[in-house]
Amino acid sequence: MRNIALRLSYDGTGYHGWQVQKTEVTVAETIEQVLKKLCGEEVHVIGCGRTDAGVHALRYCANFRSRTKIPCDKLPLAMNALLPRDIAVSAAVEAPWEFNAILSCEKKEYIYRICNSRVKDPFLRDRAWFYPKPLDAEIMDRAAKAFVGTHDFKAVRSVGTETKTTVRTIHWCNVSRSGNEICIAVCADGFLYNMVRAITGTLVYASEGKLLPEEIPSLLETGDRRLTGPTAPPQGLFLNRIWYPGAVGEMMQD
C-alpha cells in the first residue's frame, strides 16, 4: 500500500466544490472516479481543504492510498488522459504513510480577484468579481493589514462547518492593483468557512467609507458577523499556494 500526494489545479466553475456530495458533481468525486479506473480499486482522496462551488485552485494538494503499481512520474499523464479539461494533475510524489493533505498543511495562500471597471470583461465572468464602482486599493490595503496576526476571526466567517476554534493566524494580507484588476492575497495557518470572501467584502466596505480601517480590530473583537462586510461571490477566489514539509512541499513549490 502506498500513500501518493498529487499536485493539481482546477477551474471550479462546473463543480459544487471539492468535497464529495450525494447529488452534486464535485472535484473530489471526479478524481476518485478516474483513480478507480487506473488503480482498479476504490480510492478515497483527501484534499488540502474544502473549496466552495465556483471557487478555483491554481495549486491544490490531495493524497490517496492505493496498491497501484503506476510510477509517480507516469501518474499525472495517465490521470490527465481521463480527467475533464477543467482539472489537471501536474505532479505526483510518494508521501510518508502518515502524510495527510489537510492535517499536514503548514499554511495556505488564497487570492481574490476583483475586476474594478465600469465595463465588464466577459473573459473574467467566472474568474473575478465584477465591481463597477471605483475602489481605492490603498485604503483596502490599509484595512487588510489590520487582519494580520493571531485573532478570533468569528466576525468574518459564515456558519456552515463546525470547528473547535475560530482563532487563526494570518501571516499576510495584501491588496494590489494592476490596471482594472485588484488582487487580495491572504496567507494563514488555516481558514474558516468563507473567511477570505468575508474579508474581501470588509475591505470593499472600507474603500466605500462604510467602515474605517482602524475599526477592524474592534470589529474582530465583537465576533459579530453582522458588523463586517458582505461575503464576496465565489468566482473571484483562488487557492494559490500551499506549504508542506519534505518532498510534498518541494513538489508544491517548484
77 within 8 A of 147, measured Cβ to Cβ: no
pLDDT at 174: 98
> For 127-232, where are the alpha helices, taking DSSP H only?
137-145, 195-207, 216-222
Type of residue at 183: C
DSSP state for residue 163 in the 8-state scheme = -
Q: For the domain that residue 207 is a member of, what is the CATH number?
A: 3.30.70.660
Number of H helices, E strands in the chain: 6, 10
| Domain presence at residue 252 | no
Same domain as 88, residue 114: no
pLDDT the model gives residue 158: 86
121 is catalytic: no
pTM of the model: 0.94
Average pLDDT of the residues in 225-234: 95
Look at the block and give the residue holding cell 502518515.
98
- Give the length of the chain: 254
Confidence of residue 159 (pLDDT cuts 50, 70, 90): confident
Query: How many CB atoms neighbour CB 224 within 10 A?
Result: 11
pLDDT digits (tens, 9 = 90+) for 111-144: 999 999 999 999 999 999 999 999 999 999 999 9
Tell me which residue range forms the domain holding 81.
Answer: 2-104
Residue 206, domain member (yes or no): yes
Same domain, residue pair 70 and 141: no
Task: Answer yes or no: are the C-beta atoms of 51 and 69 closer than 8 Å.
Answer: no
Q: What is the pLDDT of residues 59-102, one digit of tens each?
A: 999 999 999 999 999 999 999 999 999 999 999 999 999 999 99
**Is pLDDT at 205 greater than 80 in this prediction?**
yes
pLDDT for the residue numbered 162: 73
Looking up residue 24, the CATH number of its domain turns out to be 3.30.70.580
Q: What's residue 163's pLDDT?
A: 81
128 with 206, same domain?
A: yes
Q: Are residues 144 and 81 in the same domain?
A: no
Kindly give, in sequence order, each residue whose CB lies less than 8 Å from that of residue 33, ignoring residues fewer than 6 positions away.
none
Mean pLDDT of the chain: 95
In this structure, the answer to whether residues 50 and 71 fall within a common structural domain is yes
Given the residues 11, 52, 126, 189, the one annotated as active site: 52
Helix or strand holding residue 28 (H, E)? helix 27-39
Count of domains for the chain: 2
- Residue whose C-alpha is closest to residue 236's, from 47, 20, 12: 12
